[in-house]
Amino acid sequence: MGKLVELGKNLKCLTCEQVLSLENIEKEKILGLNSKLWFRCENFSCVTQVMTGKVHEGNTKSILFYVNSKAVLGSLHAGVGYTALNKILACLNILLMSDTLFKRYEREVGPAIKKAAKESCQRAAEKE
Protein backbone atom coordinates (compact mmCIF):
# COMPACT_ATOMS: atom_id res chain seq x y z
CA MET A 1 0.00 0.00 0.00
CA GLY A 2 1.31 3.45 -0.88
CA LYS A 3 1.90 6.39 1.39
CA LEU A 4 -1.21 8.21 0.16
CA VAL A 5 -3.47 5.24 0.90
CA GLU A 6 -1.97 4.97 4.39
CA LEU A 7 -2.35 8.72 4.93
CA GLY A 8 -5.98 8.53 3.78
CA LYS A 9 -6.73 5.79 6.32
CA ASN A 10 -5.22 7.88 9.12
CA LEU A 11 -6.98 11.15 8.24
CA LYS A 12 -9.69 10.99 10.90
CA CYS A 13 -10.20 13.13 13.97
CA LEU A 14 -9.60 11.11 17.14
CA THR A 15 -12.47 12.93 18.89
CA CYS A 16 -15.30 12.94 16.34
CA GLU A 17 -13.92 10.67 13.58
CA GLN A 18 -14.58 13.32 10.92
CA VAL A 19 -12.28 13.14 7.90
CA LEU A 20 -9.56 15.76 8.29
CA SER A 21 -8.74 18.25 5.53
CA LEU A 22 -5.23 18.77 4.17
CA GLU A 23 -6.03 22.50 4.32
CA ASN A 24 -6.00 22.25 8.12
CA ILE A 25 -2.41 21.06 8.62
CA GLU A 26 -0.95 23.07 11.48
CA LYS A 27 2.49 21.52 11.73
CA GLU A 28 4.73 18.99 9.99
CA LYS A 29 7.73 17.16 11.39
CA ILE A 30 9.79 15.38 8.74
CA LEU A 31 11.21 12.08 9.97
CA GLY A 32 13.36 10.67 7.20
CA LEU A 33 11.15 9.57 4.31
CA ASN A 34 7.88 10.14 6.20
CA SER A 35 6.27 12.87 8.22
CA LYS A 36 4.21 13.42 11.30
CA LEU A 37 1.38 15.90 10.64
CA TRP A 38 -0.82 17.80 13.06
CA PHE A 39 -4.36 18.62 11.85
CA ARG A 40 -6.97 20.90 13.40
CA CYS A 41 -10.47 19.39 13.33
CA GLU A 42 -13.16 21.68 11.90
CA ASN A 43 -15.81 20.34 14.32
CA PHE A 44 -14.08 20.50 17.70
CA SER A 45 -10.92 22.55 16.99
CA CYS A 46 -8.92 19.73 18.56
CA VAL A 47 -5.57 18.71 17.10
CA THR A 48 -4.94 15.19 15.80
CA GLN A 49 -1.50 13.81 15.01
CA VAL A 50 -1.32 11.74 11.81
CA MET A 51 1.56 9.65 10.49
CA THR A 52 2.02 9.66 6.71
CA GLY A 53 3.08 6.00 6.58
CA LYS A 54 2.99 2.71 8.44
CA VAL A 55 4.87 2.53 11.73
CA HIS A 56 6.28 -0.24 13.89
CA GLU A 57 7.80 -0.47 17.34
CA GLY A 58 11.58 -0.52 17.52
CA ASN A 59 13.90 -2.38 19.88
CA THR A 60 13.77 0.52 22.33
CA LYS A 61 9.96 0.72 22.16
CA SER A 62 10.22 3.81 19.96
CA ILE A 63 7.92 4.35 16.99
CA LEU A 64 9.66 3.79 13.65
CA PHE A 65 8.48 4.23 10.07
CA TYR A 66 8.59 1.10 7.90
CA VAL A 67 9.81 3.04 4.86
CA ASN A 68 12.84 4.35 6.77
CA SER A 69 13.66 0.83 8.01
CA LYS A 70 13.33 -0.54 4.48
CA ALA A 71 15.48 2.22 2.97
CA VAL A 72 18.29 1.60 5.47
CA LEU A 73 17.98 -2.18 5.15
CA GLY A 74 18.03 -1.92 1.35
CA SER A 75 21.09 0.30 1.33
CA LEU A 76 22.97 -2.04 3.66
CA HIS A 77 21.87 -5.08 1.64
CA ALA A 78 23.18 -3.38 -1.52
CA GLY A 79 26.51 -2.77 0.18
CA VAL A 80 26.16 1.00 0.36
CA GLY A 81 25.59 3.32 3.27
CA TYR A 82 24.24 6.70 4.26
CA THR A 83 26.00 8.78 1.59
CA ALA A 84 24.98 6.56 -1.34
CA LEU A 85 21.37 6.35 -0.13
CA ASN A 86 21.16 10.14 0.06
CA LYS A 87 22.68 10.50 -3.42
CA ILE A 88 19.90 8.28 -4.78
CA LEU A 89 17.25 10.20 -2.83
CA ALA A 90 18.65 13.51 -4.11
CA CYS A 91 18.45 12.31 -7.72
CA LEU A 92 14.82 11.36 -7.10
CA ASN A 93 14.15 14.79 -5.56
CA ILE A 94 13.16 13.15 -2.26
CA LEU A 95 14.08 14.72 1.06
CA LEU A 96 17.33 13.35 2.44
CA MET A 97 17.71 11.27 5.58
CA SER A 98 19.93 12.71 8.30
CA ASP A 99 23.00 10.76 9.35
CA THR A 100 21.71 10.43 12.92
CA LEU A 101 18.38 9.02 11.71
CA PHE A 102 20.16 6.60 9.37
CA LYS A 103 22.31 5.39 12.30
CA ARG A 104 19.23 4.98 14.50
CA TYR A 105 17.57 2.76 11.89
CA GLU A 106 20.85 0.97 11.22
CA ARG A 107 20.95 -0.01 14.91
CA GLU A 108 17.39 -1.34 14.57
CA VAL A 109 17.97 -3.46 11.44
CA GLY A 110 21.56 -4.48 12.25
CA PRO A 111 20.67 -7.33 14.64
CA ALA A 112 18.24 -8.78 12.08
CA ILE A 113 20.94 -8.69 9.39
CA LYS A 114 23.42 -10.44 11.69
CA LYS A 115 20.87 -13.08 12.66
CA ALA A 116 19.98 -13.80 9.01
CA ALA A 117 23.67 -14.03 8.07
CA LYS A 118 24.37 -16.42 10.96
CA GLU A 119 21.42 -18.65 10.02
CA SER A 120 22.54 -18.65 6.38
CA CYS A 121 26.06 -19.72 7.38
CA GLN A 122 24.65 -22.48 9.60
CA ARG A 123 22.47 -23.81 6.76
CA ALA A 124 25.45 -23.77 4.40
CA ALA A 125 27.62 -25.59 6.95
CA GLU A 126 24.92 -28.25 7.45
CA LYS A 127 24.80 -28.92 3.69
CA GLU A 128 28.55 -29.58 3.53
Is residue 50 within 8 Å of residue 10, measured between CB atoms?
yes
What integer pLDDT is reported at residue 73 of this predicted model?
A: 92
Q: Mark which of 17, 38, 53 sits at the end of a domain.
A: 53
29 φψ region: left (φ > 0), alpha (ψ -120 to 50), beta (else): beta
Q: Are residues 47 and 104 in the same domain?
A: no
Q: Are residues 29 and 59 in the same domain?
A: no
CA-CA-CA-CA torsion sign (44, 46, 49, 52): positive
Q: Are residues 23 and 63 in the same domain?
A: no
What integer pLDDT is reported at residue 124 of this predicted model?
A: 84
Domain range for residue 125? Answer: 55-128
Q: Mark which of 36, 53, 70 sits at the end of a domain.
A: 53
What integer pLDDT is reported at residue 88 of this predicted model?
A: 95
Q: Are residues 95 and 77 in the same domain?
A: yes
Q: Are residues 97 and 79 in the same domain?
A: yes
What integer pLDDT is reported at residue 117 of this predicted model?
A: 80
Distance of CA 3 to the CA centre of its chain: 10
CA-CA-CA-CA torsion sign (107, 58, 39, 23): positive
pTM for this model (two decimals):
0.79
Render pLDDT for 15-71 as a digit per residue (tens, 0 to 9): 888 899 999 999 999 999 999 999 999 888 899 999 888 888 877 778 889 999 999
Average pLDDT over residues 80-86: 95
Q: Mark which of 53, 69, 85 sits at the end of a domain.
A: 53
Q: Are residues 40 and 73 in the same domain?
A: no
Q: Which residue would you say has higher pLDDT here, 28 or 110?
A: 28
User: What mean pLDDT, rounded, does the chain reach?
Assistant: 88
Q: Are residues 125 and 67 in the same domain?
A: yes
What integer pLDDT is reported at residue 80 of this predicted model?
A: 93
Is residue 12 within 8 Å of residue 51, measured between CB atoms?
no
Number of domains in the chain: 2
